[in-house]
Homo-oligomer: A and B are copies of this chain.
Amino acid sequence: MSPHPWRTRASREIYRNKWLRLREDIAELPDGRTTIYGVVTPGVGQCVGVLPFLNDGRVVMIRQYRYIYGEGHRWEMPTGGMHAGETPEEAAQRELQEEIGYRAGRFEWISSYYTSKSVVEETAHLFLGFDLMPSSLPQDDTEFLEIEAMPFAHVLDMVLRSDIRDSMTVTAVLLAARRLGL
């Protein structure tokens, strides 16, 4: 039997900026007690990541400054938040064009999962991207990106030793390795 659901008795917004919202709910537990529950929603609560394969088997990776961790030396695949009204595939196509200047002729969905453990509402949709064609959209003006095509085996190695630490990249690379038999 699945665990009993909780009920939301009240909800109020604490904070909102362009990139995240925080609300505080009063939640009723299965035993009738109540607790406060802070819920953080980054953007629309959904994001995408694409591992983009060139025809020679290399993947296109990006590097940017990650403010929260104070570091800019780790590689990631293109990722980003979905916009309201977009499908995951549309968001994936837009992010590719904004971040690496390609669009994909074909996407292969590999996973949808919840990035964080309990207080952050964020579902990530992961794709492999194939048949890349040059096509650009303007970059987000707070992003400063470095781009490099790398052999997939090298990217997998960085994941296996936790040098790559971005959740979406880790998951997509491990799933891609299964499909490639690597």
* Complex contacts, A24 vs chain B, CB 8 Å: 15, 17
Q: Count the copies.
A: 2
Would A40 and B69 count as touching, CB distance under 8 A?
no
Interface check A54, CB cutoff 8 A: no
Would A3 and B144 count as touching, CB distance under 8 A?
yes
Would B69 and A114 count as touching, CB distance under 8 A?
yes
* Complex contacts, A142 vs chain B, CB 8 Å: 29, 35
> A84-92, A97-105, A127-135, A164-172: which one contacts chain B?
A164-172
Bound complex: CA of A113 vs CA of B169, how far in Å?
A: 10
Interface residues of A in 73-127 (CB under 8 A from B): 73, 79-81, 111-124
Report the contact-size class of chain A (Cβ under 8 Å from the partner). 35 or more
Interface check A66, CB cutoff 8 A: yes
Would B116 and A115 count as touching, CB distance under 8 A?
yes
Interface check A2, CB cutoff 8 A: yes
Interface check A44, CB cutoff 8 A: no
Would B68 and A120 count as touching, CB distance under 8 A?
yes
A-B contact pairs, 9 of them (CB 8 A): A1-B146, A3-B145, A5-B65, A6-B67, A15-B38, A20-B119, A42-B120, A69-B121, A167-B171
Binding site for B on A (CB under 8 A): 1-6, 14-15, 17, 19-20, 22, 24-25, 27, 29-30, 35-40, 42, 47, 63-70, 72-73, 79-81, 111-124, 142, 144-146, 160, 162, 164-168, 170-171, 174-175, 177-178
